[in-house]
Amino acid sequence: MGLSPSSATRGFTLIEVLIAFIILSFGLLGAVALQAKAKQASFDAMQRAAAVALGNDILQRMRASDTTGFAALYNGSFSSDDKLKQERRCYSNTCSAAEIAALDKQQWIRAIQARENTGALDDATVCINNQPEIASGSNAFTLQVVISWQGRQEFTASNDTVAIECGTSNNKRRVVVLNSFMYLRAS
């Protein structure tokens, strides 16, 4: 008995199965690459959220220490490579404004040391610049906190971002700039 013409066309040939497998493989490879990019973007978003939270913490602590001369105590920069001092005098004793500012800086350094598993930012630098507002009187200050760190993905930064001088400037640098204003309490 011979095969009828309709029964010879039933099913898939080996070539058709291989072509379907190749198409499926390319689709799966694309999904894996998309997953990797999504994980990188999620990590960058987590670091940006940590930087904003740290910047807000810095601003709030400066507002809490709003005594005469506070700008000199907080202005400057520090990085995740700075060494921590283990002095904890201010936890159980009364401290001066300078001692509180020094403790605040140590806690912020700990918060940016991702490689020591105490912080969330990788290769971070924090720059604090507080300036008195001459036009508003001697008790008014403009506060600026700049936090820069190294992200995982490269991108081309805008001219405004490149002009910011805080941390290492390269194609992986991320920057958050927080500006605020405050009045000192009457002293």
Are 143 and 184 in contact by the 8 Å Cβ rule? The answer is no
For residue 4, pLDDT beyond 60 = no
Distance from C-alpha of 77 to C-alpha of 66, rounded to nearest angstrom = 19
Which two tokens mark 143?
A: 């506060």
pLDDT at 23 (0 to 100): 93
Are 145 and 58 in contact by the 8 Å Cβ rule? The answer is yes
Q: What is the pLDDT of residues 66-83, one digit of tens each?
A: 777 888 899 999 998 888
Per cent of the chain over pLDDT 70 is: 90
pLDDT at 25 (0 to 100): 93
The strand ranges marked E within 36-172 are 76-79, 125-132, 140-150
Domain spans in the chain, listed from the N-terminal domain onward: 13-183
pLDDT at 147 (0 to 100): 95
pLDDT at 69 (0 to 100): 80
Q: Torsion angle of alpha carbons 71, 76, 130, 125, nearest 10°? A: -140
Q: Is the dihedral of CA 89, 91, 96, 99 positive or negative?
A: positive
